[in-house]
């Protein structure tokens, strides 16, 4: 039997056929609103609401008032108990808490959108064509490009700047590799930034990064050429390719101009829309500068930016002063209570710090980008401020030393939730340290299926055992925070699901899954993007599940959320943040 309220809904659908039906409906409506105890803003019903609690509860309906979830329950119970301004019939679609990308870079992505887009370039030539096309349109005084990846090129070798120098002899050009851990600069920029001398004279820069040299036998700069490009010091003879990695990039980063604020704002809002279309309602922004915090605030002031932002500050003097003054900082939908630290570089550019030498470069172990002395200082500061320390650690050596360092906070506060970002190559003997030190692993499953082409050549078969080992990490800590690291990878969370559960890329390669024994379940992956991400940012009382008292930040998905053997795209149908519809396909 239908309750009075259900008959209203039922009749709503068949309405307007006759005036009598309308009159009947209106009288029923007014009758019901007199009868109803509790009025709410919105009821979403006839849904498959995945609460994401420990019991795996699935419910039919949810009532929302003032942006907060009032009750989740069976269809009849919710429809009988509440009178809503708006009823949304979800047509049995899947509803989940809004997804969080637990490690990403909105600001880098924004800058990538405004820069020359080099993502997917199949050759150096294609890169040059794109730069020329961009420059003829924008006529920038400083050309910045992002996203090249030499592993997609025929020879797979790192580029050199000679042809860039011919095309752009008198304007600075800076082209970032896809992972952001290496850049190609033209001669003009190298000279302008004095990067070679600065790195040579600063041990922190030269030990935490390096220049890629052109084979000295085939290409040797003349004295005049060296003078021209500002090469000095005995170590640099043999010719520079123009590619520098990790800390060796710093003198160039120091003089890199930012884009106009209006362009950045527009790009950020475009990114927000893209995220909403995938059901992403929150991002852990992995490394912010103070002016970027202020930029987000400006957008939030105008209610243009509604995404939940969990900010990780870079440990600059300015940010440290901010953290000391503000403590745990909350502003509208932004929460800041963590520092992001670079432990090492990336595996692709051999900056990851390994216990044993690289399998394809026998004299090289990579390096720490931040000295252990500095790491300890940052850890002490975080302890004092109640901040979380989130360290980028790719190589097994970096993971080991950070896990040992984190043991200190664990003894003071077992619920510290300090994170290792990436935890990419871990010595199997060290896995237990995640449990022992209570360290939260933060992983990006699409990295596994992107790196599969060359990861083994870098570290050899014997070290693949602890590589991209999400299941092993999950077993240790009981949770993983899951993200994409966009713009290094695409924003699409369904690619993440496919990579985590099936261990395949969007082309469904490899058929049997890459290191398939490390696959996690769909439920675990979804928890990594919802409740565990909320735990990883101390926001589990507000986000991560669809339960009473939490933000009504949730998503109705277009198709059932599944992990089919072959990649099946999916999108949000309607996305809500705090009860407000921020995206809808309609
Ligand atoms: Zn990152």
State pLDDT tens for residues 498-534.
999 999 999 999 999 999 999 999 999 999 999 999 9
Which three-class secondary structure string do you get for 30-49? HHHHHHCCEEEEEEEECCEE
Residue 356, domain CATH: 3.20.20.140
Q: φ and ψ at 282, to 5 degrees? A: -150, 150
Which of 237, 255, 273 corresponds to the end of one domain? 255
Helix (H) or strand (E) holding 341: strand 334-342
If you measure from the C-alpha of residue 393 to the centroid of ligand 1, how many angstroms do you get, rounded to a whole number?
Answer: 10
223 & 297 share domain: no
Tell me the pLDDT of the chain averaged across its residues.
91
Alpha carbons 238 and 294: distance in angstroms, whole number: 44
Same domain for 445 and 327?
yes
Cα angle, residue 348 at apex, residues 179 and 536 outer, rounded to 5° = 55
Q: Quote the ligand 1 centre to 327 CA distance (angstroms).
A: 24
85 and 177 inside one domain: no
Residues 251 and 265 in one domain: no
Ligand 1 center from residue 348 Cα (angstroms): 14
Whole-number Å distance, alpha carbon 456 to ligand 1 midpoint, is: 21
Give exposure, 282-295, as e/b (b: 16+ Cβ within 10 Å): bbbbbbbeeebbeb
Select from 255, 273, 308 the last residue of a domain: 255
47 token code pair: 């849904």
| CA 293–ligand 1 middle distance (angstroms) | 17
- CA 501 / ligand 1 centre spacing (Å): 22
CA 338 / ligand 1 centre spacing (Å): 15
Task: Mark whether 247 and 284 lie in a shared domain.
Answer: no
The mean per-residue pLDDT over the stretch 122-134 comes to: 96
Distance 369 CA to ligand 1 centre (A): 14
Distance, CA 104 to ligand 1 centroid (Å)? 6
Determine the distance separating the centroid of ligand 1 and the alpha carbon of 301, expressed in angstroms: 27
213 and 320 in a common domain: no
Residue 1 burial (C-beta neighbours within 10 Å; 0-12, 13-18, 19+):
exposed
Least confident of 9-13, 445-449, 560-564: 9-13
Q: Which two tokens stand for residue 154?
A: 């025929």
Q: What is the distance in A from the centroid of ligand 1 to the CA of 489? A: 10
> Do 503 and 385 share a structural domain?
yes
Candidates 434, 570, 548; CA nearest to 57 is 548
Q: Would you state the pLDDT for residue 33?
A: 45
Distance CA 365, CA 352 (A): 8
**Token code pair at residue 443:** 């992983």
In a domain, 319, yes or no: yes
Q: What is the CATH number of the domain that holds 171?
A: 3.10.310
Count of CB atoms situated within 10 Å of the CB of 396: 25
Boundary of a domain, candidates 232, 255, 278: 255
**Domain for residue 530, yes or no?**
yes
Burial class (CB in 10 A: 0-12, 13-18, 19+), 580: middle
3-class DSSP assignment, residue 102: strand
> Percent of the chain, pLDDT > 70?
90
Is 293 in contact with 285 (CB distance < 8 Å)? no
Identify the pLDDT of residue 206.
85
Q: What is the CATH number of the domain that holds 38?
A: 2.30.40.10
Omega of the bond prior to 137 within 30 degrees of 0, cis? no
Find, among 485, 511, 515, the residue nearest to 500 by Cα.
515
**Which residues are found with C-beta within 5 Å of the ion, ligand 1?**
286, 485
User: Strand 329-331 vs strand 280-288: parallel, antiparallel, or unpaired?
Assistant: unpaired
Q: Whole-prediction pTM value? A: 0.88
Residues 312-328, mean pLDDT to the nearest whole number: 98
Tally of CB atoms within 10 A around 108 = 20
Calpha distance 191→227 (Å, rounded):
9
**Domain contains 107:** no
Does one domain contain both 381 and 460? yes
Ligand 1: centre distance to CA 526 (Å) = 20
Tens of pLDDT, residue by residue over 236-253, are: 334 899 999 999 999 999
Task: Give the structural domain span for 505.
Answer: 261-584
Distance 485 CA to ligand 1 centre (A): 5
pLDDT surpasses 50 at 440: yes
* Shared domain check, 267 and 241: no
Domain membership flag for residue 109: no
pLDDT at res. 156: 86
129 lies in a domain? no
Alpha-carbon torsion angle 515, 516, 521, 526, nearest 10: 40
Q: Is residue 99 part of a domain?
A: no
Angstrom distance (rounded) from CA 503 to CA 499? 4
Cα 342 to averaged position of ligand 1 atoms, centre (Å): 9
Q: Give distance in angstroms: CA of 410 to centre of ligand 1.
A: 24
Confidence of residue 15 (pLDDT cuts 50, 70, 90): very low
* Distance of CA 529 from the midpoint of ligand 1 (Å): 16
The token duo for 320 is: 């440290």
State both tokens at 201.
């004279």
Give distance in angstroms: CA of 408 to centre of ligand 1: 25
The answer to whether position 244 is within a domain reads: yes
Number of structural domains in the chain: 3
Q: What count of residues does the chain have?
A: 586
Over range 80-91, report the average pLDDT. Answer: 98
- CA–centroid distance, 109 to ligand 1, in Å, is 11
DSSP assigned state of 431: H
380 C-alpha to ligand 1 centroid (Å): 23
Q: Is residue 110 part of a domain?
A: no
| 35-73 residue pLDDT tens | 557 999 999 999 999 999 999 999 999 999 999 999 999
pLDDT digits (tens, 9 = 90+) for 329-362: 999 999 999 999 999 999 998 999 999 999 999 9
Check whether 12 has a pLDDT greater than 80: no
User: Could you tell me if 364 and 331 lie in one domain?
Assistant: yes
Residues 207, 300 within the same domain: no
Q: What is the dihedral of CA 402, 408, 409, 413, to 10 degrees?
A: 140
User: Averaged over 159-165, what is the pLDDT?
Assistant: 94
Q: What is the pLDDT of residues 374-396, one digit of tens each?
A: 999 999 999 999 999 999 999 99
411 and 491 fall within a common domain: yes
Strand 58-59 versus strand 61-65 pairing type? unpaired
- pLDDT tier, 20 (very low <50, low <70, confident <90, very high otherwise): low
Token duo for residue 468: 């991209």
- The pLDDT of residue 18: 53
Cα 547–553–557 angle (5° rounding)?
100
């Amino acid at each position: 039997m239908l309750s009075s309220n259900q008959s209203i809904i039922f009749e709503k659908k068949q309405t307007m056929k006759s005036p009598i039906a309308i009159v009947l409906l209106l009288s029923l409506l007014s009758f019901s609103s007199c009868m109803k105890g509790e009025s709410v803003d919105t009821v979403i019903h006839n849904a498959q609401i995945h609460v994401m609690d420990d019991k795996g509860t699935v419910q039919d309906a949810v009532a929302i008032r003032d942006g907060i979830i009032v009750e989740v329950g069976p269809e009849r119970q919710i429809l009988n108990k509440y009178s809503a301004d708006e009823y949304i019939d979800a047509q049995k679609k899947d509803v989940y808490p809004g997804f969080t990308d637990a490690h990403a870079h909105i600001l880098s992505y924004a800058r990538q959108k405004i820069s020359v887009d080099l993502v997917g370039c199949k050759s150096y030539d294609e890169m040059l064509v794109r730069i020329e096309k961009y420059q003829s349109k924008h006529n920038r005084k400083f050309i910045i490009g992002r996203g090249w990846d030499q592993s997609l090129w025929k020879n797979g070798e790192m580029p050199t700047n000679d042809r860039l120098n011919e095309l752009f002899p008198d304007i600075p050009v800076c082209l970032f590799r896809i992972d952001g851990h290496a850049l190609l600069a033209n001669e003009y920029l190298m000279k302008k930034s004095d990067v070679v001398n600065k790195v040579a004279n600063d041990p922190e820069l030269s030990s935490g990064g390096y220049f890629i040299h052109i084979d000295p036998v085939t290409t040797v700069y003349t004295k005049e050429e060296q003078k021209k490009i500002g090469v000095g010091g005995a170590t640099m003879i043999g010719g520079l390719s123009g590619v520098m990695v990790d800390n060796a990039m710093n003198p160039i980063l120091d003089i890199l101009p930012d884009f106009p604020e209006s362009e950045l704002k527009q790009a950020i809002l475009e990114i927000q829309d893209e995220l909403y279309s995938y059901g992403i309602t929150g991002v852990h922004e992995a490394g912010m500068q103070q002016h970027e915090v202020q930029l987000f605030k400006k957008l939030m002031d105008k209610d243009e930016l509604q995404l939940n932002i969990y900010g990780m500050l870079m440990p600059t003097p300015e940010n440290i002063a901010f953290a000391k003054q503000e403590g745990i900082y909350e502003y509208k939908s932004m929460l800041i209570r963590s520092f992001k630290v670079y432990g090492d570089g990336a595996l692709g550019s051999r900056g990851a710090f390994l216990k044993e030498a690289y399998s394809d470069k026998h004299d090289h172990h990579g390096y720490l980008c931040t000295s252990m002395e500095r790491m300890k200082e940052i850890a002490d500061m975080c302890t004092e401020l109640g901040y979380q320390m989130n360290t980028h650690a790719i190589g097994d050596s970096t993971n080991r030393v950070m896990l040992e360092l984190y043991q200190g906070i664990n003894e003071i506060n077992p619920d510290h939730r300090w994170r290792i970002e990436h935890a990419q190559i871990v010595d199997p003997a060290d896995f237990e340290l995640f449990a022992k030190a209570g360290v939260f692993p933060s992983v990006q499953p699409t990295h596994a299926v992107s790196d599969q082409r060359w990861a083994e050549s870098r570290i050899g078969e014997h070290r693949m055992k602890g590589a991209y080992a999400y299941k092993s990490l999950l077993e240790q800590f009981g949770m993983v925070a899951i993200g994409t690291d966009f713009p290094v990878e695409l924003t699409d969370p369904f690619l993440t699901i496919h990579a985590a559960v099936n261990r395949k890329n969007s082309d469904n390669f490899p058929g049997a899954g890459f290191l398939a024994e490390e696959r996690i379940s769909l439920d675990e992956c979804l928890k990594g993007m919802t409740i565990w991400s909320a735990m990883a940012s101390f926001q589990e009382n507000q986000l991560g599940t669809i339960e009473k008292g939490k933000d009504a930040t949730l998503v109705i998905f277009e198709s059932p959320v599944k992990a089919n053997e072959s990649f099946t795209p999916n999108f949000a149908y309607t996305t809500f943040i705090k009860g407000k519809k921020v995206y809808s396909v309609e």
